[in-house]
Amino acid sequence: MAEPEFRATGVRIGKRLRSLTRAGQIRISDGRVQLLTSYGSEIDSAPVQAVRASKPWFAPDGRALADLNGNRYSLTLGEHDPAPGEPGPPAARRFIEAVRRAAGRKG
């Protein structure tokens, strides 16, 4: 398996008003976006070209939305990228950029 193009841990993943995991993972690898639980079980995955990632206009900086297979997930990542060597999820902005870059879309 190739090195992931994007990886984030410690991500809160929710669907509608329900929290699915408080310490989940996001991985973009081999042309797929995967949402995983803290134990590595798959919540959902889809080809990166079929995924829409955006920032909700009403939410704080650390939030992103991802549409996979007709399901909308709210993702809470970090508001700022962690310092080098420090634990913590990257900024939501980096996730959105990574999805667009992997799909070959511009900004």
Residues 47-96 have pLDDT tens digits of 999 999 999 888 777 899 999 999 999 999 976 677 777 766 678 889 99
Neighbours of 42 (CB within 10 A): 11
pTM, entire model? 0.85
Q: How many angstroms separate the most distant Cα atoms in the chain? A: 37
Q: What is the pLDDT of residue 88?
A: 67
Q: Which of 56, 81, 79, 80 is nearest to 67 (CA)?
A: 56
